[in-house]
Each structure stands twice: as C-alpha cells, then as structure tokens.
Structure 1
Amino acid sequence: MDGATVLHALNLAYELATLALTTLGLAIVFGLLGVMNMAHGEFVMIGAYSAVTVQAWGLPLVTAVPLAMGVCGVLGYAVERWLIRPLYARPFDTLLATWALAMLLRKLVEALFGRGYRNVESTLTQPVMVLGSPYPVYRLALIVLTLMVMAALFVWYRQSAAGLRVRAMTTNPVLAQALGIPTRRLASQAFVIGVMLAGLSGVLLAPLIRIEPGIGVDYLLDAFFVLVVGGLGTLGGLFGGVGIIGGAQAITSSIAGQTSGYAVVLMLSIVFLWLKPDGLFSRR
C-alpha cells in the first residue's frame, strides 16, 4: 500500500471519527427524546472554549474535560428542567426554544471571548509513522478514542439494565411508566448526557480547529444530516449515517472541494427525506 493511499485512508477515518464524535450527543437527545436541540453546536463550542480557557489559565489541556462537562452538565440540567420539559409534547416549540438558546449562548461567548479566532496548543502534535506514512498522533488518538466510546456505548445500550430501561422508554413510554420506570428522570439524564458529550467533543477537537463563536452551526448541520440518513433512535442508524454522510463529504471534498462536499451531503439528505424519511435504521 503506497503512502498516498494510507494517508487518504487515515484522513477518511479521522473525518468519520470527528463526525461520529460530534453527532453522538444529538443522536441521544434527538433520537431518544425526539427533541431537536438546535443549541447542540453551541455546546460543542462551549467545550472548545473550555480548552481556550484552561490554556489561558496555564493549566494542562486535560483539565478542560471536567470544566466543559461540568458547565455543559449544569446548563443541560437547567435547560431540560425549565425550558424543554414543559415543551416535550410540542416539538416545534422545542425547536424554536433551543434555537433562541443557541443564539443566546453564541452572544454570551462573543461577549466573553470576542469574535476573533482562537487556537489551542497541544503537546501531541508530533507525527508518527503509520505503514510508512507520517500522521499526527493526536488525530490517531482521537480515532481510537472515538471507537472506544462508540463500543462502550453499544455494550451499555444493549447489555446493561439502564440501557434496557432506556429502550423501554423510547419504545413505549406510557407502558414503561406504568411498569414503574422513571421515564421523566431518564429523559432528563439522557438530555444532560447528550449535551455533556457535545462539550467533550468540543474539547477533543479544540487543538485541531479554529475556534470562534460561529463554529456550532456546521456541527449542528452535519449531525442533523447524519441522523436524517441513518435514522433516529438506533446505534445502527448512527453508524450508517456517519459512514454515508462522512464518506460522501470527505471523498467529494478531496476531489472537487469543500463546497461540492456540502452540496453532495445536502442532496443525499434531500433524497433520503423524499424516498426513505425514516432513515436506514429507524427504530419505527
């Protein structure tokens, strides 16, 4: 295998890992609860700015993980308790409410950090040799970590008692509540976990991206397209959507540019909404 092929394969794996990482939080909130959290990208942004903050304080980058997850967890609990919970039966209203929340969070970050770009330094920037080709070790670590997170989530969802309760809640919430499953508490926990995972993805991506208050929009759109294609409420849908959307975007962008990549992703999403509106692996 020549060096160019290895490099393209590693870049594709990195693009898919990034997409899976940033989609996971929205997949939990939208797929399990039916809440289209328009502020999902802003929670990714909060994670990235947590890395900027600890760097400004002179602390190791790893300390941004508890900071981001703590901030996102508190915000997520407050948002679910006082904004989302009264609107669960009104999905369009939750969309508008979280859209307003996204704009508010973006303006708060602009007020605190300004509109300019920020960068985060990492000590894991040195390349290592992979099948004879140099590749950044941080990207490799991100690919491995994403695989581990996805595998752990799959085992938890399919094998644990908590995963069984979540499946019961999403399949038939009325029956689950009648059987004594605390559906309201599970919904709250699922929302908080979803936004905390979004914040974690922002921290992990911070050394690899230019950070500014508007970065959340792209992550929200990509995650939404993944769920449209893959389907809601199943891990198979998440994997399938990431593979199709991420693969199509990465391959098209490498051949014809990033704008063409976005155009292909948009057309794929429209085709799926038209011909298969429940996605590839919907639980319905």
Structure 2
Amino acid sequence: MLATYGLNIAYACAVLAVTTVGLGIVFGLLGILNMAHGEFVMLGAYSAVATQQAGLPAWVAVPLAILVTGIVGWIVERVLIRPLYSRPFDTLLATWGVAIVLREAVAATFGRGYQDVHGVADMTLGILGLQYPAYRLLVIAIVIVAFGIATIWYRRTLTGAAIRGLTMNPALAQSMGLNTTKISAIAFITGVVLAGISGVLLAPVVRIDPYMGLDYLLNSFFVLVIGGLGTLLGLGVGTSIIGGTQTVVSGLIDQTFGYGAVLIVSVFFLWSRPNGLVARS
C-alpha cells in the first residue's frame, strides 16, 4: 500500500509539473494569466488522437503538437497578447476568448465525445514488489530528466539570462539592448508549446474531450499559487503539495473530496502566503 501511494503521488506530481510548466513560463515570467493554457494541453492530446486516426507512428504526435501549438501560439501572441502586455486584465479576457474558440474548433472537427489513445499505456512493470503501469513510470522519468535540462538551460544559457533580466527589470533590459518584444514572444510560444507536449504525453492515460483543458488550468493555477511565480523550485514545491494532497485524500475517501482538499489548501495559501512559498527575489 505504501509503495502504491508513493508511486501514485510521484505520478500525480509529475503530471502536475509537466502541465504547469507552460503556464509557469507565461504567467510567472511574463505576468500573463493565459486562460487558454488548458486548451493548448488539449490541442496536444488531440494531436495524438489525429496521429492515431491517420495510422501514423505514435511519436509523430510530438512534432505535430509542436507545429500546431507553435503556430496557434505565434498568432495569439502577435495579434492579441503583444498589444496588451501592459494590461493584465485585458490579456485575461483575450485568452479566455481564445480558449472558447479553440474548444469549439476542436469540437467541430473531432466531435464532443470522448476520445482515447490506445496501445501505449497497457504494459506493467514490477517495482517495489508490485506491478505498476510502465507508462506512468516513463512519465515520471521523462519529467525528472526534462526539469533537469530546463534548470540548466534557465541558469546557464544566454537565453535564460535574457529572460531573467526581462523578468526582473524590463525597462533596464531594453536599455541594455535586449529585444524584449522578441524575448517575450519566444517565452510565450515556448510556454504554449510545452503545454501541447504535455498533452501528447498524457493522451494515453486520460480521457480526451474538447473541454478537458479547464481542469489542467485550475490545477496549474493552484500549483503556482502555492509554490510561487517565476522559479522552478516554487513549481516543484507547489506540485508536491497539490499532487500529494489530491492523491492521498482521493485514495482515502474519493475524488470529490480530493478536489475539495486541493481547493481548501489553495485558498489557505492564497490568504496566508499570497506570494507563494518560494517567492521570486
């Protein structure tokens, strides 16, 4: 039982981390609450559905999701977000409208019913004395490796340094010759592309429908509320608390109480620690 709970908590945290990192980039670094974040996760999941329906290898879903979310993200940033960078409430409304459009476009294309991606998540692997889904273990491993790479990229590369400078002081960054408009666009597109990739990664283990994005948006927001904005450490802390709380309470009682516990914990932190546990310096 302890091994099962431990692996389930690790998997829940991995799912939260991979679906939150895109919103963390857009909201934490650019100050834009992208209300269409969950819909970009949904676009990634439907990329896997489209790949399956076309009879193509499963890995084709990854470049397809990158292409689709990258193009949509570029259009949204160029047309809607860029003129509104200094108006947070307007960007919230604009991205909410984008979310509605994306949901209805996918519903018109694939229908409103549930979709499934088959043949990837059926194997089990013996670990800690139990048989556990191999695909869940693969998700955990991918997230650990990806976050290690992201940490090195953010801390050790010139692009990461430019993004940190833009975040801390946009005016000073611009005066030093940085193209803040280009950097902001790259950060936004990177955030939505990562959301799409997370949708591909989760497609074999979730039910896919045009309205699936709302849950991912809410959970991602709760993670950032608790952990804090703009740091990978805050993202890790937030995912651990939210993922652990939801998994334990859902296992002991049921899924509804799990969601309720997450909401109560998030409201408590929003009231007591509005900057999160790991505030950006």
Scaled to the shorter chain, the TM-score interval is over 0.9
User: Secondary structure of the residue that 1:117 maps to in structure 2?
Assistant: coil
Pairing partner for 2:254 from 254, 257, 276: 257
2:139 equivalent to 1:180? no
In the alignment, the residues of structure 1 paired with residue 174 and residue 51 of structure 2 have an alpha-carbon distance, to the nearest angstrom, of 43
In the alignment, the residues of structure 1 paired with residue 77 and residue 279 of structure 2 have an alpha-carbon distance, to the nearest angstrom, of 25
Structure 1 residue 19 corresponds to structure 2 residue 19: no
| 2:5–2:248 contact (8 Å) kept in structure 1 | no
Encode CA deviations 1:78-135: one digit per residue, 9 max, x unaligned: 1001100111111001000000110110000110011111110134521111122111
Aligned-partner Cα distance in 2 for 1:68–1:96: 25
Looking at structure 2, the residues matched to 113 and 255 of structure 1 have their Cα atoms a distance apart, in angstroms, of: 36
TM-score (norm 2): 0.98
Q: 1:239 is aligned with what amino acid?
A: G
Deviation at 1:65, TM superposition (A): 0.3
Identify if the C-alpha distance between structure 1 residues 217 and 123 changes in structure 2 by more than 3 Å, giving closer, same or farther. closer
1:141 is matched with: 138
Q: Of 243, 246, 251, which residue of structure 2 is paired with 1:246? A: 243
Q: Secondary structure at the match of 1:122?
A: coil
Give the equivalent residue in structure 2 for 1:190.
Answer: 187
Determine the C-alpha separation between the residues in 2 that align with 1:12 and 1:123: 21
Q: Who is 2:72 aligned against?
A: 75
Structure 2 partner of 1:5: 2
- The TM-score normalised by the length of structure 1 is 0.97
- Per-residue CA distance 1:35-62 (angstroms, 9 max, x = gap): 0000000000000011000100001111
1:37 counterpart SS class: coil
1:224 pairs with one of 221, 225, 235: 221
Partner of 1:28: 25
Structure 1 position 165 matched with structure 2 position 162: yes
Gap regions ≥5 residues in structure 1: none
SS in 2 for 1:115: coil
SS in 2 for 1:134: strand
1:99 alignment partner in structure 2: 96
One-letter amino acid of the structure 2 residue matched with residue 277 of structure 1: P
Conserved 8 A contact 1:231-1:282: yes
Amino acid at match of 1:248: T
* Same amino acid, percent of matched pairs: 54
Aligned-partner SS, 2:132: strand
Which residue matches 1:281? 278
Cα separation, 2, equivalents of 1:139 and 1:37: 28
Aligned length: 281
- In terms of mean alpha carbon deviation, does 212-221 or 127-136 score higher? 127-136
Matched residue, 1:37: 34
